[in-house]
Every structure is written in C-alpha cells, then in structure tokens.
Structure 1
Amino acid sequence: MTAAQLKPTLGTLHLWGIAVGLVISGEYFGWSYGWGVAGTLGFLVTALVVAVMYTCFIFSFTELTTSIPHAGGPFAYSLRAFGPTGGMIAGLATLIEFVFAPPAIAMAIGAYLNVQYPSLDPRWAAVGAYAIFMTLNILGVSIAATFELIVTVLAVAELLVFMGVVAPGFSFSNFVLNGWAGSDTFGSAAITGIFAAIPYAIWFFLAIEGAAMAAEEAKDPKRTIPRAYIAGILTLVTLAIGVMVFAGGVGDWRELSGINDPLPQAMKAVVGNDSTWLHMLVWIGLFGLVASFHGIIMGYSRQFFALARAGYLPAGLAKLSRFQTPHRAILAGGVIGIAAIFSDGIVNLQGMSLTAAMITMAVFGAIVMYIMSMLSLFRLRKIEPNLERTFRAPGYPIVPAIALVLAIVCLIAMIWFNGTLALVFLGLMTIGFVYFRLTGHQRQAAIPDSLLSQP
C-alpha cells in the first residue's frame, strides 16, 4: 500500500504564477502599515534589507525544493534533516503562516469592494471570497493553477498600469517629507521604526516559498522549480520597490499608512474620484488580492494534507476528493480563517487592527520556517552529501548564511516589538507540540514515505 499522491500536472509558467500569485497581494496592501511605524525612508531601508534576505533565501531554498519535491515543503526538509521534532516545528510554523495570511487578504478584498459598494460589509465579502475560492481549489489543481496564472498576469499588469498612471503626479519631495520616524535621520526613533516595520516589509514577499508545496504536482520539478522561483523573486522585488516609491510620492503618504486600500487612495490623489483609471484599479486590483488568496488556500491545504499523511495531524485531513484534491484540508483552513475574520472587535492585540495582527502572526510562522529551512539546508549538506542536488545554492555557505542571520535578526525584532502576539504564537506552537507528543501512534500507523527519510 502506498501513501496518497498528488498528480503532477504543473509546468514552469504555472509554478511562476503560483510563486508570484501567492505573494502579489503584498504589493496591493499591508505594506503601508510599515510607513506608520518607520516613515517612507525608514521603511525603504527595511524593505531593501528584507529583499536581500528573501533573495538569498530563495536561491538557497530552491536547492531543498528540487532535492526533495514534496507537498510538505519545509516540513519535509526539516523532518529529513532533524527528525520528527524538527519536522513538527517547521510544519506547524508553515501552517500558522498559511492559515493566518488568508483572513488578512480576505479583509482587503472586502475593503476594495467597499470602495465600489460602501454599504457592503467587508467581513461578509471576505466570507464570500472564502466560499468561492475554496470551491475552485476543490474542483482540481489544474483548473486552480490555470486560474492562478491568469489572475497573476493581470495583477502584475495592473501594478505596472498603476505606476504609469500616477507617475505624472509623482514628486520625490513628497516621498522623503517626514520620511523618518521621529523626523530624525538614523536617530533612535528612526532606527526603532526600521526594526518595528519588519513584519510589513516581509509581507511584500511572504509565502513565495509556498510554491514548494506544489512541487509534488510539478512536472519535472528539478528543472521547472528553479526557473519559476528565480523569475518569481526578481518579479516581486521589482514590483515591491516600484509600487512603494510611486505610491509614496503622489501626495501626503501619511494618509495612506494603516489602510487596506492604499493604491486606489493614492490614485485618487492623481486622477480624482471619478476617473475610469480608478475604477479599473479597484476591479482589476482585486485580481492581485484574489491571486494571493487563492494561491495561499492551495498552499495551506497541501500543508494540512502532508502533515496528516505523515501522521502529524488527523488522517482524515489527507483524504482526497474525486477531483484528486485535499478537500477536507481546504475546508479546515477556511473554518479557521472565517473564525479569525469575525474575531475583530472581540480580540484586540497590542492595539492593532485585525489585518495588522493577522499579518504579524503569519510573519512569525514564516520567519520560524525560514530559520528551520536554512538549518535543514546546512544539515543535509553534512549528513547527506550524496543527495541528488540538480540545483545547488549559489555562493554556499555564504548566501544561505546571510538568509539565516537576517531571519534570526528579524525574529528577535518581531518578538521585541510584538510581545503579545509572540506569546500567542508560542502558545499555538506549544499546543501543537503537546498534540505531537500525544499522537505518536498516528505516525507509526502512517504509510512510509521515502522522501521523508534518509535512504
């Protein structure tokens, strides 16, 4: 008897669409919260450092993805490198990242629709988005990935249109005015702001690693994944810096900090409230949010599926539908996400909005997973020197070491500035560890998977 397997149907373009689509909502919203704590110039420094971390990380992470093309992604790498406890830490951190990101994106979808329909409650629009895109994911990965590619291409095009339309109204003096927190270049307030803004800079790139969870469904993953990842990170770095700079230079950037629809509001300052361009941005701009929302649902479902298949979660979550998709895993993440949406007003953590809190929780999961992944890379190089590596991290060991060190710095800063949410994250990890300790029989009963153990 063999473990349930996902069918390989995805090519390079599909994987690029997934990698960029998972992330591209971060260019549409979320990042502007960073302006509120660091200013435009302080946040630009944060974003550039984080871009370096992600570039080094992706070039290193690709070695793991191509060597161990598994739906569990970081869970599979850490399990193979460090055994069950390491797999549990990486798998649960990844799950937290991918389960807490969608509610933030869903609320942004609601905010964008609210621009067109002021009477529409953003929370119910968010629930509707969950219903639509969970259904699409259940209907089949090929359909879902093709849809993801289409909306991603439209979202990228729309960001380029945004930059072109607002360019005539751009002024560098607007961007730099009050650009440092505390209005003090590299003073204590400015430095504090640079570190406090880390989660919002990470939001620019958060979840690109999720394409690894589609590796089991990729055709010729050892060739297609490196191409998709490298093209993806270059696409995202270019768009992130471009959108942030253009949006910050069209007026008073402080009016855009801390809102869920900064691009439509920035465009209003240039073209007015009734412009066709503005309405186009709202409608087509939804594609960016939809691309990430839809892609992350695909990502969290594969993580639930992989953990359940290996005995780390209840086996029922590894069941496949008649469309060969993990439908129970898709629904499980949706239930958690919808509950988070309606926790607004009930839970008030550190005075943050719900969106900011969800972003920060997702980033905690991501950073822990990045650290585990880079540690796994180093350990697998040591204990499995003969593992087939069709793609090797360039500049090893320096490039992965840069990613690891910057990730550790980010985690320390996250804990320092988000103590309450750090405790919530630790509580969730602790609950997961207790469950892990109590359910050893599930892992013993799980069907062996050759990719999860050393040969």
Structure 2
Amino acid sequence: MSEPDGPGGPGGLGRPGASESTTPSLRRDLGLAEVVVYGVGLILGAGIYAILGEATAVAGESVPLAFLAAAVVASFTGLSYAELASRFPRGEGDYVYVRETFGKRPAEVVAFLRVFVGSVSAAAVALAFAGYLSSFVDLSPVLAAVALVAVASAVNFWGIDVSAKLNLVFTAAEVGGLALVIWLGLGSWGSVAVLDAPFGPGGVLEATFLVFFAYLGFGSIVNVAEETEDPTRTVPRAIVLSVGITTVLYVLVAVSAVGVADWRALGESASPLALVAEAGGGPAAASIVGAIALTSTANTVLILLVSSSRLVYGVSKSEYRSFPTLFSRIHVRRGTPYLAVALVGGLTVPFVLLGDLGQVAALANGSLLVVFVAVNAALLKLRFDRPENREGFTAPLTVGRLSVTALCGLVTALGLLVVYLGRFL
C-alpha cells in the first residue's frame, strides 16, 4: 500500500493501536468495486427512494425525462470531477481543485458549502427514511430521522471498513428493490405518456432541478480518495461507472412508477416506491420494497456522513488550516477522524428538525450547484494554466485546451441555479 498522493499528504498508514507519536492516518481499504458500490449506494438512496414523489408531483408522467435530463447535467460535471480527481487524488476533493486554481479563500467557501450540502442531504434522506418507516410503525418522523443520524454517526466513527461492508450489503438490497419495481412495471411501459407533462416544460424543468438531488453522490466519491487504493485511476473510473449504472436504473424505475401508479398519488406519497409496489404487486410487494427503502435511505445517510466528515478532516489538516486543526485528529484505535464525525452528525440534526423533505432537498441542490459551477470553472482554468499536466484521466470532447464537457457542466449548472433562484427567492 502506498502513501497518500498529492502535496503534503500524511505519510504512512494509520493502524489500530498506533501511538499518538506516529500521527495515525486514514487506512486504504477500498478498491474499485468498493468505491463503485459506495457511489451507487449513495446516489440511489439519495434519489429514487427519496425524491421520486416530489418530482412526479410537478412533472407527472414526464418524470423519466427529468431523470434523463438531470443525468446529462450530472455527467458533464461528473467528468470534470473525474479528471480533477485524477490530477489531485486527495480526500479534500472540491476544496483542492478550487484552491489549486482560484486560491485559498474561494476554496474555503466551496469547502463550507460541501459540508453544508452533506449535512442537509443527510437530513433530507433521513426524513425519507422516516417516511418509509411510518408505514411500519407509528413513530414521530423527526425522532426517527434524528435516531438514524445518531446510529449512522456511530458506525462512521467505528471505521471505514465497517461502513464499506454495510454499504455493500445495503446497496445490493437497494438494487434488488429497484429491480422488483421495474419487473412489476414492465407491462405498463407502453401506456406511459412521457411527453404529456401536466404543467408543461416548466414542470419538467422544475422536476429536473429536484431530481438533480438524485445524482449528488458522484461529487462525494472523491472524499474517500485517501482511503482508496490507487486513487488516481480508481476514483475517476468509479465516478463514471456510478453515474452510468444509476442513470439506467433511475429511468427504468421512473417509467415503471408512473406506469403502475397514478402520478398524482405518487406526488402525495411519503413512500412512493412502496405505493408503486402495492399497486403492481399487492401489500406483500409493498412491504418488501418499503423494507428495502429503509435500508437504502439508511445506507445513504451513512455514506453522506462518511464523505462529509472526510472533507472536514481534510481541510482541517495543518497544511491547509481552513477549518480548525482539531478536526484533523484521527482516533488512535479506530483510525477515523472522530471529531469531524461528531461535527457533521451534529450539523445534520438541525436540518432534520425542518421536517420538510422538499425544502431540505432544495437547500442541498442550490448549494451544490454553486459548488459545481466552481468545479467546472476550475477545470476550464486548469486546462489553460497547466496544459502540460494531462496525465491520468482526461474528460472527452476537447477542442485545443478547452474542455467542452466542463463548459457544458458550467452552463447547465448555472441554468439550474437560475431555476432554483426563481423558485425559492
């Protein structure tokens, strides 16, 4: 196993039982399969299980188009992340990319926004978890969501290897649940009026903005770079594979959902996929999908907290000092950034208390779009400032030094940001 890449990386690999004098560091336990599963699990739980109902309420049977449009937008920015992650394989991710091109202060703004997005997103998915849980037990949604955040924070503290193993099991369950929904809806695909948007193109555009929340996971894959073997090659490949796999699943599930269930009922449901399963396969199928949705959303909360705490850890290092250095401390026995874990968990709870999934998801989206604008701009500038540094992964569609995909990512992120400002301000 190699030492962390990039400037100023902490030397050596932390092991349980290391002494304080050896300055323990994060352990490289993740290969390509684990990172892809990590990304797929994060994206799926944050999206189709959590936000399908909100998006269907404004797009109707055109909601598959919203998922497809959001995938295109996400792919542009995802390719920028992949190239930048190949150049700077650091767990600080966006912070390093922006710092390398625009300087420390803009990078600190991006780091703050990313931690904010991680906390808000975890809160949104925790509320979705509570919505599915309500179909099984009569419990306060906010209380259930707070309890989930507490348990996920404890697992996050225990170790990345435990988180990765749980993620593998939960992601397999997530994909199984989606496969069941797709199978139940196969016979209804021909009846879906995909072009019949009840609120016109504006409704589809608004749904695209909401559904963009479903793809936020690819930006967090870079935050486990320092716990990944050969991150220069592994992280870019994991980003591309994760976005591709989830896009196929999203579109097929969206078509099945509006084919099996009335889009108005979906828009009002706190557990939309369970509703689809009940309409297509009866109460037993609804219970199965509802149970799987619980594991999916719980898994997503866990890995959102993992990625956000690793970002806090990274930018708190003595080489950066953008956040207080105490958050860069690594637990000697567990090999995890325990104070960063506690901070992110604590920041998530207030957003859970808002209790409104749509509002919380919109907060995450607006902030994330600002980050995506900065990341795409960073790659565009880097291509011109350092044209000789083109080793590793390179985003396709290059004209001279210009990255066409990064330019498209910048423009589309700005466009969705305008939609956000027009809707909420």
Is TM > 0.5 for Structure 1 vs Structure 2?
yes
1:355 aligns with 2:361: no
In structure 2, the partner of 1:37 is 58
Find the partner of 1:282 among 290, 301, 310.
290
In structure 1, the partner of 2:165 is 146
In structure 1, the partner of 2:350 is 339
RMSD: 1.9
Aligned equivalents of 2:297, 2:31: Cα separation in 1: 23
1:268 aligns with 2:284: no
Structure 1 residues 309-320: aligned runs within 5 Å: 309=317, 310-320=320-330
Find the partner of 1:298 among 276, 295, 306.
306
Aligned equivalents of 1:50, 1:74: Cα separation in 2: 20
Find the partner of 2:417 among 411, 421, 424.
411
Aligned equivalents of 2:80, 2:234: Cα separation in 1: 16
1:197 partner letter: A
User: What does the per-residue CA deviation read over 1:307-349, in whole Å, with 9 as the maximum and x for residues that have no partner?
Assistant: 22222222222211121111111111211222222234xxxxx
Farther off after superposition, 382-391 or 260-269: 382-391
Give 1:240 shift: 0.9
In structure 1, the partner of 2:4 is none
Give the secondary-structure state (helix, strand or coil) at the position aligned to 2:67. helix
2:323 partner letter: L
2:166 partner letter: F
Aligned equivalents of 1:164, 1:294: Cα separation in 2: 28
Aligned equivalents of 2:324, 2:88: Cα separation in 1: 24
Aligned equivalents of 1:236, 1:178: Cα separation in 2: 22
Give the secondary-structure state (helix, strand or coil) at the position aligned to 1:111. helix
Give 1:363 shift: 0.6
Find the partner of 2:377 among 372, 375, 378.
375
In structure 1, the partner of 2:97 is 77
Aligned equivalents of 2:106, 2:207: Cα separation in 1: 29
Give 1:106 shift: 0.7
Give the secondary-structure state (helix, strand or coil) at the position aligned to 1:115. coil
1:181 aligns with 2:202: no
In structure 2, the partner of 1:248 is 258
Farther off after superposition, 66-75 or 195-204: 195-204
Structure 1 residues 49-128: aligned runs within 5 Å: 49-117=69-137, 119-128=138-147
2:53 partner letter: S
Aligned equivalents of 2:362, 2:251: Cα separation in 1: 21
Aligned equivalents of 2:366, 2:30: Cα separation in 1: 30
Give 1:263 shift: 0.3
CA contact (8 A) 1:250 1:266 kept: yes
CA contact (8 A) 1:215 1:225 kept: yes
CA contact (8 A) 1:31 1:201 kept: yes
In structure 2, the partner of 1:398 is 404
Give 1:368 shift: 0.9
Aligned equivalents of 1:65, 1:166: Cα separation in 2: 38
In structure 1, the partner of 2:231 is 221
Aligned equivalents of 2:120, 2:383: Cα separation in 1: 32
Gaps of at least 5 residues in structure 2 are 1-7, 11-22
In structure 2, the partner of 1:422 is none
Farther off after superposition, 247-256 or 88-97: 88-97
CA contact (8 A) 2:80 2:375 kept: no
Give the secondary-structure state (helix, strand or coil) at the position aligned to 1:6. coil
Give the secondary-structure state (helix, strand or coil) at the position aligned to 2:387. coil
User: What does the per-residue CA deviation read over 1:71-98, in whole Å, with 9 as the maximum and x for residues that have no partner?
Assistant: 1111110011110122122212212211
Give 1:2 shift: 7.4
User: What does the per-residue CA deviation read over 1:170-210, in whole Å, with 9 as the maximum and x for residues that have no partner?
Assistant: 2543x32994234xxxxxxx132233223322022122210
Give 1:247 shift: 0.5
Give 1:268 shift: 1.2
Give 1:258 shift: 4.1
Farther off after superposition, 245-254 or 2-11: 2-11
In structure 2, the partner of 1:387 is 389
Aligned equivalents of 1:84, 1:171: Cα separation in 2: 51
CA contact (8 A) 1:112 1:282 kept: yes
2:363 partner letter: M
CA contact (8 A) 2:328 2:340 kept: yes
User: What does the per-residue CA deviation read over 1:88-128, in whole Å, with 9 as the maximum and x for residues that have no partner?
Assistant: 222122122111001111111111111111x2222222122
CA contact (8 A) 2:82 2:237 kept: no
2:197 partner letter: W
TM-score, length-scaled by structure 1: 0.83
Farther off after superposition, 278-287 or 1-10: 1-10
1:158 aligns with 2:177: yes
Find the partner of 1:330 among 341, 359, 367.
341
How many pairs are equivalent?
Answer: 397
Q: 1:359 to 1:79 in 2, by over 3 A?
A: same
Farther off after superposition, 334-343 or 99-108: 334-343
User: What does the per-residue CA deviation read over 1:140-191, in whole Å, with 9 as the maximum and x for residues that have no partner?
Assistant: 11221122122112211221122113434x2543x32994234xxxxxxx13
User: What does the per-residue CA deviation read over 1:39-86, in whole Å, with 9 as the maximum and x for residues that have no partner?
Assistant: 222x33333222111122222220101110111111110011110122
1:134 aligns with 2:136: no
In structure 1, the partner of 2:49 is 28
Aligned equivalents of 1:338, 1:251: Cα separation in 2: 33
Farther off after superposition, 316-325 or 213-222: 316-325
Give 1:31 shift: 2.8
Identity of paired residues, percent? 23
TM-score, length-scaled by structure 2: 0.88
